[in-house]
Structure formats: C-alpha cells, structure tokens
Amino acid sequence: MATAKQKEAARQNIAKAREAQSARAHGKDVPRQSQGMSTAEKDDLKNSEFAFPKERKEPLTDEKHVRNAIARFNQVEGVSDAERDKAWQRILAAAKRYGIEVSESSWRDLAKGGKDKGGKSKGTASKGH
C-alpha cells in the first residue's frame, strides 16, 4: 500500500510528465530527463549497430551501451547459440573500439559464478588503458 507521501510524489511526477509531453507536442524543445537513447534514435540505427541485429537488441553505439550489452547479454531471449556467438563477437569488437577490456573470452563464461551458482549473471568490463 502506498503512503500519502508516495501518492503525492506520483501525482507530481505525472503532472510534470504531462506538462513536458504537452510542450513537446506544441513544438517546444524540452530536454529529456534521461540520458538514454530515444525510441526514434534507436529506430534510426542500422541493424549492424546492434549486438543482435535480427532482433534489434542491445545497441553498440557508445561505451555505455556496450557495457550494458555485456551486462544484459544473458537476458536476451529467443536467440540461438550461433546468434549469441555472432553477437558476442560484435560486442567484443565494439568493446575494443571504445577501449573497454572484457575479461570473458566467451559469452558462455558470463554465467559462471552467476545464475548457475544462485547469483545474478553479470559480465565484467573495465576501461582499458
């Protein structure tokens, strides 16, 4: 059950969102709150800019997205191991391009010590020097 304070915060958030949406609808350039990629920006990407191009999952457009693709790799559903192999190679190439060191040599290594042992699966990436 939500508290009165939570309900009021939710009302304020809804009001702010409606205000910004209305301003955008009337042609004003209202900056987005999040730093993520908009749906329109994602739609404009070429298939080759995704780890999983057929599904258009996990864009590899910058360092932040490459790190996210590694972290979420095992969450992508409905793809074969062959597609995962190709996606992992795309991620490694993008990581190299952005100077990210990836400790796992294969996507199969991502689950070791993660979901297989009761924890969360998470890839590890660090900034290369």
Per-residue pLDDT of the chain (129 residues; tens, 9 = 90+): 678 888 888 888 888 888 777 776 777 776 766 667 878 888 899 999 999 999 999 999 999 999 999 999 999 999 999 999 999 999 999 999 999 999 998 999 887 654 444 444 445 566 655
pLDDT at 35: 67
Whole-model pTM: value is 0.63
Q: Are the C-beta atoms of 73 and 88 separated by less than 8 Å?
A: yes
pLDDT at 13: 87
Q: Are the C-beta atoms of 101 and 93 separated by less than 8 Å?
A: no
pLDDT at 53: 95
